[in-house]
Structure 1
Amino acid sequence: MPAFRQVGEKQLPNPVLCMAWSPKRDLIALANTSGELLLHRLANFQRVWSLQPSEYTWKEITLAWRPDGKILAFSLGDTKQVVLCSVEKAEILHVFPVQSPVSCMHWMEVMEESSALSSFYNSEDKSKMFLPKLPTLPKSEEKSDEILNLLGEARLNVLVLGGGGAFVELYAYGMYKIATLGGVSGMCRSLSLSSDLKSLSIITEVRSADDKLDTGLLSSCLPEVTRMARKFTHISTLLQYVHLSLTCMCEAWEDILTQMDLRLTKFVQEKNTSTQVQDEFLELLLWGQSRWDYVGLKKLGQSIESSYSSIQKLVINHLQSGSEALLYHLSEVKGMSLWKQKFEPLGLDSAAIEGAITAVGSFSLKANELLQVIDKSMKNFKAFFRWLYVAMLRMCEEHVQPELNKMTQKDISFVADFLSEHFSKNEELFDRKGKYFNVERVGQYLKDEEEDLVSPPNTKGNQWLNFNSNCVCFSVILCMFVVVLLV
């Protein structure tokens, strides 16, 4: 037998706790005692990236690569959670809790081919015909692309976790728990699941012989488990995508819109006047004069319009796209739950799924309401700042362009109503020193609060709401009509 020959050596500053080679790429993952997770290339052993998910040093850590080599799973010995990390960039994509600290893990790919599985893989590819590709998010392009990597290939893979206290769990696609196994004694030190899902071999610290558990139930329900796990992965990924979309919307809003009331309040305080900003604007509207200097407010108007446009694009391109994809996958899960012979033993509850569909539908309706509020706010502020800009030019005795000088009586009434509605002092919102001007209506939708909207949209004259309010009477009349026909 030929002897092994050393081909390279690399000195590291800290002792290595564990390492794992990528099954597909020239990469090796290392964890050291200083609390770092490192990714190195094997060819020249250069560092690709490092990640320090905890501020403490580690005593024990376990690693496992997804079979396609795009996701790395790890678990710290002192914690009860598993983390899925992107390989392209040091980015944590998904975290889920477990009942006990993990001492070993194994990530394998199911190799058994059956007609049912082949049919599922083909139908999985056809689903792309109905759902457009989700666009990348601005300022978070890399993050949104990495989240979509959680889906991976359609072929089933299973992450097996083991720990102390008879703790063994199986997660399809590394995210969806499909089994919790009992009958294991001692601390798990190594485990391996067969490629056909029929048996699981476990090495424990107590017994001298290996434990070998029968997992034939998973193998017999393989097509149903695969379909459920794949749908769960889609839904979990889309939820993260929607959450990231909301984060981008909040950032766009905070760039300028949260500063609007503060600027106007500061504007009043600097003038040291007892009159309210509403009175000053109305005086400017009626008499064309004011004690204030409005230089700088034009830029504020442009910034507000730009921020509204950014939020509007995020709602249309990202939030609604993610919600529609969620409804699509939840509707398929609802259909699966109605096939009780196949999926009821696996725990699919049609009532719970129906509740989830209702929640996503309500979310989509609220997003559509937000679009209407944004559209109305953009029109209001555009007209308001257009009038304000013309008033500034007149006060400075500068030339006003003819296209800007067209101000009808209807436009004047609109501006007056806008000032009365938005610039009046609201006692309910008086939560800081100075006056709070209720001029911004979008931010109330983005706050993480369970309270009702502070300034709900005006529903007067809404035909759909009027129809719903009359539905009870309509239903009663219809029922009476049917009874008369039957008699």
Structure 2
Amino acid sequence: MLDFPSPTQTVGEKQLPNPILYMAWSPNRDLIALANTAGELLLHRLANFQRVWSLLPNENTGKEITSLAWRPDGKVLAFSVGDTKQVVLCDAEKAEILHLFPVEYPASCMHWTEVHGDSSTLSSFSESEDESSRFLPKLPTLPKSEEKSDEVTNLLGEVRLNILVVGGPSGFVELYAYGLYKIATPSGISGTCRSLGLSSDLRSLSVITEIRSAEDNPEIHYIQLDTGLLSSCLPELTKMARKFTHISTLLQYLRLSLTCMCEAWEEILMQMDLRLTKFVQVRVHHIPELQALLMNQLTVKGLKMLGQSIDSSYSSIQKLVISHLQSGSEALLYHLSEVKGMALWKQKFQPLGLDPAAIEDAIVAVGSFTLKANELLQVIDKSMKNFKAFFRWLYVAMLRMSEDHVPPELNKMTQKDLAFVADFLSEHFSNEELFDRKGKYFNVERVGQYLKDEDEDLISPPNMEGNQWVTFVKYTYLFYSVLCCI
């Protein structure tokens, strides 16, 4: 008799510091994800069971992991957090959060499936994607956030559609295309979901639920739901879901751009408050005190370096607005306009619930954002001119006090330069604001007001009162009307 090894024979063992609550094998890699009672998410390699990485609980995600699911390509791992009621998408390579979204109930189970449609659907979709890339240039990489700006593209994954199904208590079930875009909320389910399964052709959804009776005895129910509507609208669903993922990643790109702008602005504030606070505190009529400050505290070399630093920070903000905010908002407007066209094609997209009015509101909001970005560029340009004129004026004054030679090109101040200096002094060294900024004496809020995190919505349409271009168009139209009457 042949002695075959037992099918339950142990091939490896490893001691772990905390009990494991959930585990999930990667669909196409030698990896296993583990969630323990401490709220840690661990990734181990199955061959030698060595840890690849660990993701510790934090205030943004939470510390009570309730379920796990791998994306079919094995590049993204989804986990649900019970205490914050969120689903988090994590990059399997770097253990970094790619995306998270709130859910109504803590998810007790998840399932991530890849949709297998016919080849004609996927080929036509690929052609539309190529057409989109023809019109939209590649977005520039963000400074100091190269990895982050590249990681947002990982959310899209492969061209083939994949759907994350999330289930929880009270019959809670939701379907998310690409793990991002909610496409369906099935009804008619009762109890707490314990297991889920979506067929690869999107025709049926299987759910196992647990219902507890009055005596607290659990009853297990198997439910099979008909999801044929999703299957019949697979081409439209794929296009719509893909557009949403583009929009979602663009919004994240814009948020990262604004973060970089705020960092550059904080650099300007720090430089000004550190270097020029004493200059602001000294009254102009105290000439000896002011002269001693300029000669001892703020040297000619230091002033030149300060001016270059501030000019560099302003240039960084200006570049971010032109290269990132404007490019990102233009791409966002392009995709929203296509979604609006899809919504107006009622024969194909009406069953999926696209609302043309809501999409139009989103387009108007993007337009307001673009106008505000252009307005910020004008403010930055004026602020840079004022800064340069002020530092040039101060540099010449310091050279004269030290009896150094003043270059002829710096000694000539035009009337416009004097106006810039006067604007700078009146705006940034106002006596009324000296004690209103909690110790910060230098007022540079003109650009900073665009970077404040406030809840006020952008005005749409913007106030055009006093706009010279609008006045010109108005009078041109009146003149043309008079000519027509004659």
TM range (shorter): 0.7 to 0.9
Q: 1:385 aligns with which of 378, 391, 400?
A: 391
Structure 2 counterpart SS, 1:235: helix
Q: What letter matches 1:328 in structure 2?
A: Y
Unpaired stretches in structure 2, ≥5 consecutive residues: 212-218, 459-463
* Residue number in structure 2 paired with 1:474: 477
* Residue number in structure 1 paired with 2:67: 62
* Residue number in structure 1 paired with 2:263: 251
Superposed CA deviations along residues 61-102 of structure 1, whole A, max 9, x for unmatched, are: 200011121211111234422111122222222221212221
Q: 1:212 aligns with which of 210, 217, 224?
A: 224
* Post-superposition offset of 1:431: 1.8
Confirm or deny that 1:332 pairs with 2:338: yes
Q: How does 1:213-232 map to 2 (within 5 A)?
A: 213-232=225-244
Alpha-carbon distance between aligned partners in 2 of 1:183 and 1:460, rounded to the nearest angstrom = 55
* Residue number in structure 1 paired with 2:437: 432
* Residue number in structure 1 paired with 2:6: 3
Q: What letter matches 2:17 in structure 1?
A: P
1:463–1:19 CA distance, 2 compared to 1 (3 A) = same
Q: 2:107 aligns with which of 102, 105, 111?
A: 102
* Residue number in structure 1 paired with 2:250: 238
Alpha-carbon distance between aligned partners in 2 of 1:86 and 1:124, rounded to the nearest angstrom = 24
Q: How does 1:437-456 map to 2 (within 5 A)?
A: 437-439=442-444, 441-449=446-454
Q: What letter matches 1:3 in structure 2?
A: S
Alpha-carbon distance between aligned partners in 2 of 1:433 and 1:177, rounded to the nearest angstrom = 45
* Post-superposition offset of 1:443: 1.1
* Post-superposition offset of 1:108: 0.3
Alpha-carbon distance between aligned partners in 2 of 1:321 and 1:412, rounded to the nearest angstrom = 33
* Residue number in structure 2 paired with 1:143: 148
1:52–1:182 CA distance, 2 compared to 1 (3 A) = same
Q: Is 344-353 or 414-423 further displaced after alignment? A: 414-423
* Post-superposition offset of 1:178: 1.1
Q: Is 299-308 or 121-130 further displaced after alignment? A: 121-130
Q: What letter matches 2:39 in structure 1?
A: G
Confirm or deny that 1:376 pairs with 2:379: no
Alpha-carbon distance between aligned partners in 2 of 1:118 and 1:216, rounded to the nearest angstrom = 22
Structure 2 counterpart SS, 1:210: strand
Q: What letter matches 1:237 in structure 2?
A: T
Alpha-carbon distance between aligned partners in 1 of 2:226 and 2:400, rounded to the nearest angstrom = 86
Q: What letter matches 2:267 in structure 1?
A: D
Q: What letter matches 1:357 in structure 2?
A: I
For the 8 Å contact 1:124–1:154, the answer to whether it is kept is no
* Post-superposition offset of 1:460: 11
Alpha-carbon distance between aligned partners in 2 of 1:249 and 1:255, rounded to the nearest angstrom = 10
1:301–1:60 CA distance, 2 compared to 1 (3 A) = closer
Indicate the RMSD between aligned Cα atoms, in angstroms: 3.1
* Post-superposition offset of 1:30: 1.0
Q: 1:265 aligns with which of 263, 277, 283?
A: 277
* Residue number in structure 1 paired with 2:193: 188
Alpha-carbon distance between aligned partners in 1 of 2:465 and 2:306, rounded to the nearest angstrom = 31
Confirm or deny that 1:28 pairs with 2:42: no
Q: What letter matches 2:73 in structure 1?
A: D
1:361–1:376 CA distance, 2 compared to 1 (3 A) = same
For the 8 Å contact 1:201–1:210, the answer to whether it is kept is yes
Q: How does 1:171-182 map to 2 (within 5 A)?
A: 171-182=176-187
For the 8 Å contact 2:21–2:36, the answer to whether it is kept is yes
Structure 1 counterpart SS, 2:98: strand
Q: What letter matches 1:349 in structure 2?
A: D
For the 8 Å contact 2:269–2:444, the answer to whether it is kept is no
* Post-superposition offset of 1:441: 2.4
- Count how many residue pairs are aligned between Structure 1 and Structure 2: 463
1:182–1:462 CA distance, 2 compared to 1 (3 A) = closer
Q: How does 1:260-339 map to 2 (within 5 A)?
A: 260-261=272-273, 263-269=275-281, 271=282, 275-276=283-284, 290=291, 292-293=293-294, 294-295=298-299, 296-339=302-345
Alpha-carbon distance between aligned partners in 1 of 2:416 and 2:345, rounded to the nearest angstrom = 60
* Residue number in structure 2 paired with 1:362: 368
Alpha-carbon distance between aligned partners in 2 of 1:135 and 1:24, rounded to the nearest angstrom = 32
Alpha-carbon distance between aligned partners in 1 of 2:105 and 2:358, rounded to the nearest angstrom = 28
Superposed CA deviations along residues 113-134 of structure 1, whole A, max 9, x for unmatched, are: 1534431232123311211222
Q: What letter matches 1:24 in structure 2?
A: N
TM-score (norm 1): 0.86
Q: What letter matches 2:258 in structure 1?
A: L
For the 8 Å contact 2:62–2:83, the answer to whether it is kept is no
Alpha-carbon distance between aligned partners in 2 of 1:37 and 1:435, rounded to the nearest angstrom = 43
For the 8 Å contact 1:425–1:436, the answer to whether it is kept is no
For the 8 Å contact 2:105–2:172, the answer to whether it is kept is yes
Alpha-carbon distance between aligned partners in 2 of 1:215 and 1:372, rounded to the nearest angstrom = 53
Alpha-carbon distance between aligned partners in 1 of 2:166 and 2:182, rounded to the nearest angstrom = 11
Alpha-carbon distance between aligned partners in 2 of 1:35 and 1:220, rounded to the nearest angstrom = 40
1:88–1:343 CA distance, 2 compared to 1 (3 A) = same
* Post-superposition offset of 1:425: 1.1
Confirm or deny that 1:83 pairs with 2:95: no
* Post-superposition offset of 1:476: 10
Structure 2 counterpart SS, 1:348: coil
Alpha-carbon distance between aligned partners in 2 of 1:252 and 1:387, rounded to the nearest angstrom = 25
* Post-superposition offset of 1:236: 1.0
* Post-superposition offset of 1:153: 1.8
Alpha-carbon distance between aligned partners in 1 of 2:44 and 2:127, rounded to the nearest angstrom = 36
Q: 1:203 aligns with which of 182, 205, 208?
A: 208
* Post-superposition offset of 1:17: 1.0
Alpha-carbon distance between aligned partners in 2 of 1:64 and 1:305, rounded to the nearest angstrom = 49
1:450–1:258 CA distance, 2 compared to 1 (3 A) = farther
* Residue number in structure 2 paired with 1:18: 22
1:476–1:419 CA distance, 2 compared to 1 (3 A) = closer
